[in-house]
Amino acid sequence: MTSYDTTHEMYEELAVGHALSALEPEDEQVFLRHLPGCAACAAAVSEHSETLTHLAYAAVSDSPPASILEGIRAGVAESGRSGAFPAPVSLDAARTRRRDKTVRATTAILGAAASLILVAALVLMNRGLQSKADQQQQATDKLNLVVKTLLVDGSREVKLTGSAGKAVVVVNGSKVSFAAAGLPTNDRSSSIYVLWAKSVSGGVNAVGTFDIRSGEPTVVNDLKVGNPNEVAAFIVTKERGRQAPALSTQPAVVEGSV
Ligand SMILES: [Zn+2]
């Protein structure tokens, strides 16, 4: 058996738990007795506390650097835990088998660290979603402004919705204008968006193609539909290649009934 008391590695592990305030009282005592005489452990505690402060700061920051989130993801993956907090260390078992306790205490510390990291990651994720919601609201506001410029007397507005964004088709006789906002940019070397018109009889025809180059609203004018009175719905798909296929097998990005 490796000697419990002379292995400095143990104190290095306890330093993490100490910084997290996650040590069993017994371990805390052991560590506090050791700490005053050990510069390495004092430095470790200071370093871990600093890391935790950074994590806490990142959790409340409006724009956390992506690198922090990546680090957290890596940390969670490395710890092999997806957030389950470990069962408390059994003291009885610990007293009979100290080595066993060391291993389990270490697991508990890693678990505590992983849980804290997971909480920080969830907070960041929430912020990310919130900011995404704001972006989509902005995109919707801009889209509404653009659509106002497209609407003329006698034209009809067809709203297309989907999880990835919004679009509006303005139908004026057989002339069609299209505006989209919030859709993800496409790789212009290998993909293209296609606007389809689905007729009341079920036939689907490509009305036009377009690219999304930025987060700004995209407008396509001068499109045409064969018989506007026959159109039951408009659908946008993202296709491979640079042309509308005869038939799409891709899911709808946004769609809306006329
Ligand atoms: Zn030490």
23/31 Cα distance (integer angstroms):
9
* Ligand 1 centroid to residue 195 C-alpha, Å: 66
Question: Which residues in the chain belong to E strands, given as ranges?
Answer: 156-162, 165-172, 175-181, 191-199, 204-210, 218-224, 231-240, 252-257
Find out whether 248 and 196 touch, Cβ atoms under 8 Å. Answer: yes
Q: What is the CATH number of domain 151-257?
A: 2.60.40
Contact 94, 100 (CB under 8 A): yes
5 CA distance to ligand 1 middle (Å)? 11
87-122 tens-digit pLDDT: 333 444 444 444 444 545 555 556 566 656 666 666
pLDDT at 193: 96
What is the chain's alpha carbon radius of gyration, rounded to the nearest angstrom?
29
Taking the centre of ligand 1 as the mean of its atom positions, its distance from the CA of residue 43, in whole angstroms, is 9
Query: Cα(4) to centroid of ligand 1, in Å?
Result: 13
The residues of the chain that CATH labels 2.60.40 are 151-257
Cα–ligand 1 centroid distance for 73 (angstroms): 29
Give this prediction's pTM: 0.51
> What is the CA(42)–ligand 1 centre distance, in A?
7
Decide if 197 contacts 204 (C-beta within 8 A): yes
Query: What pLDDT does 218 receive?
Result: 86
Tens digits of pLDDT across the chain (258 residues):
344 455 788 888 888 888 777 788 888 899 999 999 899 999 888 887 777 666 655 554 444 455 555 555 555 555 544 433 333 334 444 444 444 445 455 555 565 666 566 666 666 666 666 677 777 777 788 888 888 888 888 889 999 999 888 999 999 888 998 999 889 999 999 999 999 999 999 899 999 999 998 878 888 888 999 888 899 999 999 999 999 999 998 999 999 999
Beta bridge partners of 105: none
Q: Kindly give the distance from the C-alpha atom of residue 56 to the centroid of ligand 1, in angstroms, as a whole number.
A: 26
The CA-based diameter of the chain, rounded to the nearest angstrom, is: 88
Tell me, in angstroms, the distance from the centre of ligand 1 to residue 45's CA.
10
Taking the centre of ligand 1 as the mean of its atom positions, its distance from the CA of residue 48, in whole angstroms, is 14
Predicted confidence at residue 158, as pLDDT, reads 94
Number of H helices, E strands in the chain: 6, 8
